[in-house]
Amino acid sequence: MSKPQINRIRVAIQKSGRLSGRSLDLLKNCGLQFARSKDKLFWYGKDFPVDLLLVRDDDIPRLLLDGVCDLGIVGENIAREVMLERNGGKGLRLLRKLGFGHCRLCIAVPEEMNISDSTELEGKRIATSYPALTRYLLEKKGISTEIFELSGSVEIAPGLGTADAISDLVSTGTTLRANHLRELEVLFESQAALYGREGDVSADRQLLLDRLLARLEGVLRAAECKYVMLHAPRESLKKITELLPGVEHPSIMSLEGTDRIAIHAVCGEAVFWEHLEALKAAGASAILVLPVEKMLA
Ligand code: ATP
Ligand code: ZN
């Protein structure tokens, strides 16, 4: 595929899989709209000059390195693997972790294997779909192993006798348990992230990238924030402010004819039921928690 036009940005996202829905929602929440093409691989950006390329997640880092797209949303696990395998561990710039697609690359061993630490895997055979990343992370710990690459169903390798242990992505651990494996050690924590390419960008294109990144930051910050409104006794202001997660300077309004005040604040951190219960215990009433739709700092 040819490189993007000078005045447009091309973003690669996963076509279908664990990351595709959230990636698309995130871009749509940035106000982007797309005209879908018939082959469904290339979506043209309608109001904002940002086009989409829908591909397999494994291809995204290569497309970025080759200059076929400017941005990509992919798991850190894949980005690191491709950079290590193909580019000396470099070439891509992590612009923003996106808060979804969480998983961990773990070393897992058969339940009955008597081993407490990955250093005991020295010289052993490890099956994985992430050979470069696994080798790199184990070597960093001073452990050298025989890495055995499998493109899928890594968890069955120890049972088949083709490997002593595995290095695989885990989110809940159910697959490991079903295959009588136990998690020995976490090698790498991963989530979906927005990546760009290292190196200089033309001024026009940088302007576009900055605009898109500012919108994205606004959407992500808004998703993390809540707008809280409540009533409280005037003398509890300090205590209430301390109890509001991620708030330093709330807005205060007096409530006519009472000694109570209304407090409004944007909470920069998650608001849980425990926070509300603590606020109530501190004298707050009429507590409302509202979502923040958009935010531009
Ligand atoms: P594709 O067809 O695009 O190659 P895939 O089958 O390789 O898809 P998915 O299973 O959709 O990929 O996973 C995409 C990404 O989701 C992974 O690279 C990883 O970053 C993340 N992820 C989150 N949880 C898990 C999990 N439990 N197992 C595997 N990947 C996970
Ligand atoms: Zn894949």
Distance 254 CA to ligand 2 centre (A): 56
pLDDT of 202-226, one tens digit each?
Answer: 888 899 999 999 999 999 988 888 9
Q: Which residue has the higher pLDDT, 173 or 20?
A: 20
Q: Is 133 a pocket residue for ligand 1 (Cβ < 6 Å)?
A: no
Is residue 12 very low, low, confident or very high in pLDDT (cuts 50, 70, 90)?
very high
Q: Is 196 a pocket residue for ligand 1 (Cβ < 6 Å)?
A: no
User: Ligand 1 atom 17: the closest Cα is on which residue?
Assistant: 75
Q: Which ligand is nearest to the CA of 76?
A: 1
Distance 49 CA to ligand 1 centre (A): 29
Q: Is 61 a pocket residue for ligand 1 (Cβ < 6 Å)?
A: no
Give pLDDT, residue 201: 85
Distance 59 CA to ligand 1 centre (A): 13
Average pLDDT over residues 176-187: 95
**Is the per-residue pLDDT at 6 higher than 80?**
no
Average pLDDT over residues 257-266: 94
**Is the per-residue pLDDT at 172 higher than 80?**
yes
Distance 75 CA to ligand 2 centre (A): 10
Pairing of strands 42-45, 146-149: unpaired
Q: Which ligand is nearest to the CA of 14?
A: 1
* Ligand 1 atom showing the smallest separation from residue 172 Cα: 27
What domains appear along the chain, each with residue ranges and CATH number? Answer: 9-100+192-222 (3.40.190.10), 103-190 (3.40.190.10), 225-291 (3.30.70.120)
Give pLDDT, residue 87: 79
Give the 3-state secondary structure of the chain. Answer: CCCCCCCCEEEEEECCCCCHHHHHHHHHHCCCCEEECCCCCEEEECCCCEEEEEECHHHHHHHHHCCCCCEEEEEHHHHHHHHHHHCCCCCEEEEEECCCCCEEEEEEEECCCCCCCHHHHCCCEEEECCHHHHHHHHHHCCCCCEEEECCCCHHHHHHHCCCCEEEEEECCCHHHHHCCEEEEEEEEEECEEEEEECCCCCHHHHHHHHHHHHHHHHHHHHHHCEEEEEEEEHHHHHHHHHHCCCCCCCEEEECCCCCEEEEEEEECCCCCHHHHHHHHHCCCEEEEEEECCCCCC
pTM over 0.75? The answer is yes
User: Ligand 1 atom 8: the closest Cα is on which residue?
Assistant: 17
